[in-house]
Amino acid sequence: SDWIVILFFIITGILSTLGNGYVIFMSSKRKKKLRPAEIMTVNLAVCDLGISVVGKPFSIISFFSHRWMFGWIGCRWYGWAGFFFGCGSLITMTAVSLDRYLKICHLSYGTWLKRHHAFICLAIIWAYAMFWATVPFAGVGSYAPEPFGTSCTLDWWLAQASVAGQAFVLSILFFCLLFPTAVIVFSYVKIILKVKSSTKEVAHYDTRIQNSHILEMKLTKVAMLICAGFLIAWIPYAVVSVWSAFGQPDSVPIQFSVIPTLLAKSAAMYNPIIYQVIDCKFACCRSGGLKAKNSLKKSRTYTISAHGDSVAMNETQLE
């Protein structure tokens, strides 16, 4: 079973590093043309790449040795980096969901959102993640080895020791999981309701407005799939962590606790796949036949880039 876990880490680590690295590389080639929504999604790729590059090698080496190999300082650094990039990913997706909600449900919002607003949002996201990841170093909480002893995470077991530990764990759960998740769910529920009510209306507009609507729906579909994948990957881990904090930690078998951890650590691998599946599907639906083939060859590989001259024109008009 150890070899299965090690192989899983190696495969997900390689795919995540290559996928997210490729996304960032291709986006850097057209960085001055990135739209605000694309800038936010590039930030998500940066977070996913950070999780893979910083976390996977330490976990793989420790699994080989059946124990954490990098000492107490290494444990705290590993825990901080994993939580920092993970929190950054979730808050980025929260910001993307709000962007989609405001753009779909409040059309006037899209007329003033510019690139510099996206960069301001990025600064807030990194500051938010930095704050919550660094709080444990101030003595309020801590990072500690996980039950199976080959990786480190937030010390959820502090909630068993004191009221201060319970306050720390509850704050982390609310500000770094429950609140962002509630915002994401609210945003996409409102979007779904809005799309259902407006689909017939859009059919009566001219081609330019219909194409703009199709592009916005594409961006929204990508964002929804990314958020769903992230939450599906991380919620089992959160449930086990909460049970360890407030329930009976020993009632969770060590072998069982490994599964949510593996699922959570594989989340960084999904996004580049989602980008490409949606991108290729969109290109084929828009072009058809030989034109679709040529469009795919010339396409900007990054997820939410537009394909073909007509969509590129709409992209300019949407700015």
Handedness of CA 164, 168, 174, 178 (dihedral sign): negative
d(C-alpha 82, C-alpha 107), whole Å: 37
C-alpha torsion sign, points 278, 85, 142, 183: negative
Q: Tokens at residue 6, please?
A: 């090690």
Q: Is residue 305's pLDDT more than 60? A: no
C-alpha distance from residue 122 to each of 34, 114, 127, 241 (Å): 14, 13, 9, 28
DSSP states of 256-309 as a string? HHHHHHHHHHTHHHHHHHHHHHHHHHHHHHHS-HHHHHHHHHHS--STT---HH
Summarize pLDDT for 249-265 with one digit per residue, the tens: 666 676 677 788 888 87
Q: How many residues does the chain have?
A: 319
Give the model confidence (pLDDT) of 207-240 as tens digits. Answer: 665 566 666 677 777 778 888 888 888 888 888 8
* pLDDT tier, 279 (very low <50, low <70, confident <90, very high otherwise): low
Reported as a pLDDT band with limits 50, 70 and 90, residue 299 is very low
Residue 180: per-residue pLDDT: 92
* Phi, then psi, of 49 in degrees rounded to 5: -65, -40
Q: What pLDDT does 255 receive?
A: 67
Is 316 a residue whose pLDDT tops 60? no
Contact 183, 165 (CB under 8 A): no
Predicted local confidence at residue 243, as pLDDT: 83
Over residues 96-107, the mean pLDDT reads: 84
| CA angle at 122 for the pair 318 and 275, rounded to the nearest 5° | 60
How far apart CA 56 and CA 169 sit, in angstroms, is 25
Q: What is the mean pLDDT of residues 166-186?
A: 92
Task: Report pLDDT for 296.
Answer: 34
Dihedral of alpha carbons 143, 238, 162, 251, sign: negative
CA 139/CA 141 separation, integer angstroms: 6
> In this predicted model, which residue has the larger pLDDT, 82 or 242?
82
pLDDT single digits (tens) 58-98: 988 888 888 899 999 999 999 999 999 999 999 998 998 88
- Amino acid present at 118: A
Q: How many Cβ atoms are within 10 Å of 116's Cβ, its own excluded?
A: 9
184-213: average pLDDT = 70
**pLDDT computed for residue 91 by the predictor:** 94
| Environment class of 276 (CB within 10 Å of its CB; exposed 0-12, middle 13-18, buried 19+) | middle
- Calculate the alpha carbon distances from 289 to 54, 102, 296, 301, 308 in Å: 43, 35, 11, 19, 13
Per-residue model confidence (pLDDT) at position 111:
64
Helix, strand, or coil (residue 143): strand
Ordered domains of the chain (ranges, CATH): 2-283 (1.20.1070.10)
pLDDT of residue 50: 92
pLDDT above 70 covers a percentage of the chain that reads 76
> What would the mean pLDDT of 9-32 be, rounded to a whole number?
87
pTM across the whole model: 0.79
Answer with the residue of higher pLDDT: 278 or 55: 55
**Mapping DSSP to helix (H, G, I), strand (E, B) and coil, where does residue 269 land?**
helix
Q: Single out the residue of 132, 119, 121 nearest to residue 98, CA to CA.
A: 121
Burial of 191 (0-12, 13-18, 19+ CB in 10 A): buried
